Amino acid sequence: MAKDAVRVLVTGAAGQIGYALVPMIARGVMLGPDQPVILHMLDIPPAAEALSGVKMELIDAAFPLLKGVVATTNVVEACTGVNIAVMVGGFPRKEGMERKDVMSKNVSIYKEQASALEKHAAANCKVLVVANPANTNALILKEFAPSIPAKNVTCLTRLDHNRALGQISERLNMQVSDVKNVIIWGNHSSTQYPDVNHATVTTQAGEKSVRELIANDTWLNGEFITIVQQRGAAIIKARKLSSALSAASAACDHICDWVLGTPKGTWVSMGVYSDGSYGIPAGLIYSFPVTCEKGEWSIVQGLKIDEFSRAKMDATANELIEEKSLAYSCLS
């Protein structure tokens, strides 16, 4: 029996990440090769013409799974009936802007979009926030969409997770598919902590720890962390544009694992609402290692945290506490 179409919202759909993301969704990368989708694309009025061009291209691509396209600048129309919302649109920080200025503009955007999702999205809608500051934007969205369960509001740290996997595989000259269980703790910012203490690699001799195989703690505790933290800036310097392709791919990975489940014995990194696990204050959207099953994520418990990791995890939590305070000050 044919499946019912899933309605997927992408905000900022005429932008670079949106332009890379919508064909992936339409091709089945996000929800599987047998899941029909109806794409809802939202952007701001100045991007309306570009958005109509994206819709034309989606039609011209003749994706078999794509059962409809809604392209609009109206937030209510965009949010009506959606099962999954990927929030790519946001106000970027520009030269000379203070953090509070950027936060204030994003608070306004996410307050409006959260209210529309609250009133018009399908029951049990899953939300992924991509736009920076992703963790705090997700927290604001949760605040203004109280009927959406806290576990249904997440932010994207899978891009950082994938970057960490890529760096390990490059260092070892092995397939990235053989590396698993890195962790991104904390904020999607330069304070995030890429942790390899529990990561492993599948070799011909069996499963080995990343630390054992790389055998260079100086690199793993120093340059590796900095490379992952600063990768976005490095790509902007090289491309003169942001990392749209990899961000779109990571968004698909995030939703795919959330909806369809993670492989047994494997965890991924997701920015989720903290329940106090690992001593991280409850009430923050913080990146943890999670497993997913039947559309639900669960934080991996019982991992040993060394002193080095503890300091890094606390530092990124403290940044999120400051961002939360700044965001809430913009609400008054």
**Residue list, annotated binding site for NAD(+):** 12-18, 43, 106, 130-132
Q: How far is CA 332 from CA 108, 176, 197, in A?
A: 11, 46, 42
Mapped onto helix, strand or coil, the DSSP state of residue 123 is: coil
Q: Rg of the chain over CA atoms, in angstroms?
A: 19
Question: What 3-state class would DSSP assign to 143?
Answer: helix
Residue 203 DSSP SS3: strand
Residue list for the binding site: 12-18, 43, 93, 99, 106, 130-132, 163
Cα 140 to its chain centre, rounded Å, is: 15
- Residues 63, 23 contacting (CB under 8 angstroms): yes
Point out the annotated binding site for substrate: 93, 99, 132, 163
Are 64 and 290 within 8 A, CB to CB? no
Order the strands of the 268-273 sheet from edge to edge.
66-72, 37-42, 6-11, 84-87, 126-129, 153-155, 268-273, 285-293, 296-299
CA distance 325 to 317: 12
Q: Catalytic residue numbers?
A: 188
> Cα–Cα distances in Å, from 112 out to 87, 144, 175, 248, 304?
12, 8, 43, 24, 41
- Helix (H) or strand (E) segment spanning residue 208: strand 206-209
Question: CB neighbours (10 Å) of residue 263?
Answer: 11
